[in-house]
Amino acid sequence: MIRVNDLRVRLDGNPIVDGVDLDVARGEWVMVIGPNGAGKSTALRAIGGLLPFTGTVELNGRPVDTLPRRERAKTIAMVNQTPTVPPAMRVLDYALLGRTPYIPPLGRESATDLAAVEEVLESLDVAQFAGRRLETLSGGERQRVFLARALAQGAGILLLDEPTSALDIGHQQEVLELIDRLRAERGLTVLATMHDLSVAGEYADRMVLLAGGTVAAAGPARAVLTEENLAEHYRVRVRIIEGEHGPLVVPVRG
C-alpha cells in the first residue's frame, strides 16, 4: 500500500530526510521511531504529499504527487502533530471536514456522512463534545477529535504523527486498540510515529528507527528495540524486558 524509495527532503537547504526506503503492506502497522529531530514528521509529511521531495512515494501503486486532491484524500488520511484548526469551529463540523472528499462541490453532507462521523466520534469517546468549540477541549480530547476527522475520511491508509502523545494511559490504549481493530476488520494500513517505545513495539508489525534522516534499523520490534540501538541513537541506557506482546524498554539511571 505504501512504497517509498530513496525519499529525500531538504528544508532550508538542509537534508532532513536523506534516502529513506520503506514499504508498508495492506493491513500492516509500521511504527517509525527515532530521537527528536530525526526527520520522522518530515518523512511522514512527504509521504502524505504535503512536502516536496525527491525519490518516489507510491500509495496503492500510484505516485502520491500525481493523485488529484480528492482522490488523495480518499486514499490517505493524516494526523499531524499540531493540526491547524479553523477558529471557533465546533467538534462536529471539524470532524465533518473529513467527509469533504465525498461531498459534491456546492453540496451538503448526506445522512451517510453524518452517520459516519457520529460513529467515529462515539468510538473515540468524544461524541459528548459534538457541539463544543474545539478550543474549549482539553489537549487529549482535542487529539481524539483530530483522529476522528482522519478516521471519518474512510481512507485505506492512515498516517499518524504521535497520535497518542496527549492521551492518558486509558485513552491511549482505547485509541490504539480501535486503530488495531480497524486494521484487522477493514485492512487499514497504518504508518505512525511514537515516542513510547514499549507501546510502539506492542502494536507494531514492524518498526523503523530513523536517525539523522536515514534508516538506522528496521524489522520486528525485537530486532529494533535493542540496548545497542537505543544506546547508539538515543544515548540512553535501557534494559529490555520480554513482554507479552513485545519487548518492554526500561530506562536505567546513571
Ligand X SMILES: Nc1ncnc2c1ncn2[C@@H]1O[C@H](COP(=O)(O)OP(=O)(O)OP(=O)(O)O)[C@@H](O)[C@H]1O
Residue closer to ligand X, measured from CB, 57 or 116: 57
Shortest Å distance, C-beta 34 to ligand X: 5
> Whose CA is closest to 25, among 48, 49, 2?
2
The three-class DSSP label of residue 70 is helix
| Nearest distance, CB of residue 82 and ligand X, angstroms | 10
User: Residue 183 belongs to what H/E stretch?
Assistant: helix 169-186
Query: Which residue number, 96 or 197, has a Cβ lying nearer to ligand X?
Result: 197
C-alpha cell recorded at residue 154? 474512510
As measured in angstroms, the least distance from the Cβ of 78 to ligand X is 14
Task: Tell me the C-alpha distance between 53 and 20, whole Å.
Answer: 11
Give whichever of 98 and 213 is closer to ligand X, judged by the CB atom: 213
> CB-wise, 132 or 195, nearer to ligand X?
195
CA distance 103 to 29: 29
CB of 66 to ligand X, least distance (A): 24
Indicate the residue among 34 and 246 with the shorter CB distance to ligand X: 34
Secondary-structure breakdown of the chain: helix, strand, coil percentages, each rounded to the nearest 5: 40, 30, 30
d(CA 239, CA 254): 13
Q: How far is the CB of 91 from ligand X (least distance, A)?
A: 26
Q: What is the DSSP string of 49-66?
A: T-S--EEEEEETTEEGGG
- Contact residues for ligand X (CB under 6 A)? 11-12, 14, 16, 34, 36-42
Nearer to ligand X, 34 or 201 (CB): 34
Instruction: Please say which residue, 152 or 211, places its beta carbon nearer to ligand X.
Output: 211
Half-sphere exposure (Cβ direction) of 246: Cα atoms closer than 13 Å: 20
**Which amino acid makes up residue 185?**
E
State in angstroms the smallest separation of the CB of 11 from ligand X.
4
Residues 124 and 182: their CA atoms lie apart, in Å, by: 13
Q: What is the C-alpha to C-alpha distance for residues 125 and 129, in angstroms, rounded to an integer?
A: 9
Radius of gyration of the chain (CA): 18
CB of 193 to ligand X, least distance (A): 6
